[in-house]
Amino acid sequence: MGSLRRVANAAAGIVLFILSLLLITDPQGGYQVVLMILMLTFTIYGLRMLVYYFTMARHMTGGIRLLYKGVIILDAGLFMFYLNSIPRLYVMFYLLGGLALSGVIDILQANYARKLQAGNWRYQIFYGILKVLILVPALFYLDSVRSLTYIYAAGLIHTAFTCLVTAFRRTEIVYVE
């Protein structure tokens, strides 16, 4: 990982950590912020994937998957614009559904990494199980905007921590001779 990438990861981690602290300090106003963050994140990521597809990935094997993924993520981002006008209970269902799906995917990837004897499967399976376990108490607080904000802030803190660890981790360089 280059120096510029490390600085970008560290800056992203710091910004996400500050943003999560702001959400924790004002959970009632955090609902609008959570929706805005989700909308911007999905929209920008979807656009990035589409630009990547049209510039490079269309010439790659399996590049069409990136086109489909980019369109779906962009559509999800644009869908977030309309979540402000629907009841907040549906937003909780979307957030918890995404959390459940992400947790199950993490567990399945960790299981596959364990079969391949990769070294980082323990962290990934722990985090996947943690995501699924967060769902149980969250189901009792579906009507609470405060719980939506706290769940999202906890996810932001984890993402910030991951960005910071990635920025300062030594990377191994493999040379092929």
Q: Residues 53-78: pLDDT tens digits?
A: 999 888 888 888 889 999 998 998 88
Average of pLDDT values for 131-137?
A: 82
How confident is the model at residue 77, as a pLDDT? 86
Residues written for the chain: 177
How confident is the model at residue 174, as a pLDDT? 64
How confident is the model at residue 177, as a pLDDT? 64
Contacts of 42 (CB under 8 A, 6+ apart): 73, 74, 76, 77, 80
Average of pLDDT values for 94-111?
A: 85
- Report domain extents, the chain: 3-168
How confident is the model at residue 103, as a pLDDT? 86
Q: Residues 16-65: pLDDT tens digits?
A: 898 888 888 887 777 777 778 888 888 999 999 999 999 988 888 888 88
Kindly calculate the radius of gyration of the chain based on its CA atoms and give it in whole angstroms.
Answer: 18
In 10 A of CB 44, how many CB atoms?
13
> Residue written as tokens 């364990």?
114
What rounded mean pLDDT belongs to the chain?
83
Cα(98)–Cα(44) distance, integer angstroms: 18
